[in-house]
Amino acid sequence: MLKQRLQQKLLQKLSPQQIQMIKLLEVPTLQIEQRIKNELEENPALEEGAEEDEIPSETEEDQFEENDKDKDQEEFTIDDYIEEDEIPDYRLQEKNYSKDDDKRTEIPFSVGFSFHEHLESQLGLRDLTEKQKILGEYILGNIDEDGYLRRELSNIVDDLAFLQNVETTEIELEEVLMIIQDLEPAGVGARTLRECLLLQIDKRDNSLPSTMIAHSILDSYFEEFTKRHYDKIIFKLDITEDELKGAIDEILRLNPKPGGVYSDPFNKTSQPIIPDFILELSEDGFDLHLNSKNLPELRLSAAYSEMLHSYSKDKSQKKEMKDAVLFVKQKIDSARWFIDAIKQRQNTLLLTMNAILEYQQEYFIDGDETKLKPMILKDVAEMTGLDISTVSRVANSKFIQTHFGIFPLKFFFSEGLQTDSGEEVSTREIKRILQDCIENEQKRKPLTDESLTDILQEKGYQIARRTVAKYREQLNIPVARLRREI
């Protein structure tokens, strides 16, 4: 049975302007410069330069009200277009692309030969049959950027049969692969790390004892080597500890990713770090300001403001002027909103960074990590009155330049841990102690996680072994067995 009823709901919706403001807040300094340049190119009502005395939006409305007495005599008035038929700017923009569209992605500029082109040029100099050329080109197409052949030869046999109508065998592919493995750089075309290192050690001077022992280790005792069971290798090869050390040095000189040698250095999209904040310490205290020296000042175009002002005085408006009036007002509103959004972004950034500076004031004096207090997003949100999500967007991809280095804002956030005395310390302090202990340990007998736990507990930090293991992994430090050295 259908029924009609009235119902009240409290909903929170974001306007298109609010969504754009959120996106602007996430953008770092390097990208906000480009964003402003794009806006200046797209919106003629926006100009560079200091703000001048502009005609406020209320002026136009006052002028429109003066024409109300003549509405009966005119077919259309400017009020009809601006107040009643106003179309939001976002409805007039084309958005005929998906979020997965790559047309806005920056295309890196590549110079020189790529890794695969380098291999193809070498293969073309070899004396091969027509079939071997086809097999070699297909194998090269399956070699990744690291220089490895990740696909099984049996699968390549099937691929050639179904895709190129070429019948072959694994034996024929193996013969062509051996030719490819003889190309430069040494180790290319390997299927495993062990094979890659063996291909490289075979091209060294095998008359040297260290090279011969290194070859034996990689060929027969690779698993023991990866697990650092050096005592077993010494016993099985009947060598001394010094001979083992010389062989290990030979192995460590090999390249586990031979394809990286010929990577195009110009084909990289990495961008330099440009700090969003600059913090200076003087006798008077801290001086924090935004790094906005490359950001132009923005203002409304006087010509467009005057144009709209003149339209408001014209009583002979006809219907054909509707598009022109609407276009001018939309551009002015868009420019005014963009200027306000940039100012709001700067105020929010400074408000958040000042709160972080106040919270971590002791640390910013000399940069001693042990003085970092435990701080989470909620702490800064409570100090600033901002939402946690807003603080998170400010901290994301932002950097600050201090007198002791450049750091991401995320660096200053960490969880807390209590000591025996009840004092709350940052987990970053625990990690620094762990790192110092591991750097000063005896490499012949590295400290285990249990030993590190005992050291921390002796210093007054109540911490579990699994927590020590978690912090060690976050520091990208391997387990004790893999840190062992001779």
pLDDT tens, position by position, 240-283: 988 998 999 999 889 998 887 665 444 444 567 888 899 988 88
In a domain, residue 408? The reply is yes
> Do 171 and 199 sit in the same domain of this protein?
no
Residue 76's pLDDT is: 40
DSSP tag of 92: G
Final residue of a domain: which of 146, 180, 214? 180
Q: Does residue 104 register a pLDDT over 70? A: no
> Do 232 and 169 sit in the same domain of this protein?
no
In a domain, residue 338? The reply is yes
Lowest mean pLDDT among 218-222, 228-232, 429-433: 429-433
> Do 67 and 122 sit in the same domain of this protein?
no
Please give the residue that has the higher pLDDT: either 130 or 84.
Answer: 130
Q: Does residue 178 register a pLDDT over 90? A: yes
Structural contact between residues 288 and 354, judged by C-beta atoms closer than 8 angstroms: yes
Band the pLDDT of 196: cuts 50, 70, 90: very high
In a domain, residue 109? The reply is no
First and final CA of the chain: distance in angstroms? 84
Band the pLDDT of 374: cuts 50, 70, 90: confident
Residue 319's pLDDT is: 59
Work out the burial of residue 419: count CB atoms within 10 Å of its CB; fewer than 13 is exposed, 13-18 middle, 19 or more buried.
middle
In a domain, residue 399? The reply is yes
Q: Given the structure tokens 């700090």, which residue do they identify?
A: 275
Band the pLDDT of 422: cuts 50, 70, 90: low
> Do 227 and 280 sit in the same domain of this protein?
no
Q: Does residue 367 register a pLDDT over 60? A: yes
Band the pLDDT of 456: cuts 50, 70, 90: confident
In a domain, residue 105? The reply is no
The pTM of this model reads 0.57
In a domain, residue 310? The reply is yes
In a domain, residue 251? The reply is yes
Q: Does residue 26 register a pLDDT over 60? A: yes
Band the pLDDT of 462: cuts 50, 70, 90: confident
Cα 461 off chain centre by: 34
Rounded to an integer, what distance in angstroms lies between the CA atom of residue 401 and that of residue 18? Answer: 29
Between the alpha carbon of residue 191 and those of residues 137, 261, 350, 441, the distances in Å are 17, 18, 53, 36
Phi, psi of 190 (to 5 degrees): -70, 150
Q: What is the domain count for the chain?
A: 4
> Do 409 and 279 sit in the same domain of this protein?
yes
Q: How many CB atoms lie within 10 A of CB 173?
A: 20
Rounded to an integer, what distance in angstroms lies between the CA atom of residue 217 and that of residue 201? Answer: 11
Mean pLDDT across 185-196: 91
> Per-residue DSSP letters for 104-166?
TSPPPP--S--HHHHHHHHHTTS---HHHHHHHHHHHHTB-TTSBB-S-HHHHHHHHHHHS--
Rounded to an integer, what distance in angstroms lies between the CA atom of residue 32 and that of residue 348? Answer: 15
Please give the residue that has the higher pLDDT: either 13 or 317.
Answer: 13
Q: Does residue 14 register a pLDDT over 80? A: no
Containing structural domain, residue 430: 415-486
Which residues lie below 8 Å from residue 52, measured CB to CB, with a gap of 6+?
Answer: 299, 302
Phi-psi region at 476: left, alpha or beta (left = phi > 0; alpha = psi -120 to 50): left
Residue 372's pLDDT is: 83
DSSP tag of 81: I
Final residue of a domain: which of 413, 440, 469? 413
Q: Using one digit for the tens of pLDDT, what is the confidence trace for 278-300? A: 998 888 888 998 887 777 788 88
Mean pLDDT across 385-413: 88
> Do 279 and 395 sit in the same domain of this protein?
yes
Rounded to an integer, what distance in angstroms lies between the CA atom of residue 287 and that of residue 403? Answer: 11
> Do 175 and 234 sit in the same domain of this protein?
no
Lowest mean pLDDT among 5-19, 128-142, 251-265, 363-377: 5-19
Helix (H, G, I), strand (E, B) or coil at 450: helix
Kindly report the average pLDDT of the chain as a whole number.
Answer: 79
In a domain, residue 359? The reply is yes
Structural contact between residues 290 and 276, judged by C-beta atoms closer than 8 angstroms: yes
Final residue of a domain: which of 379, 413, 447? 413
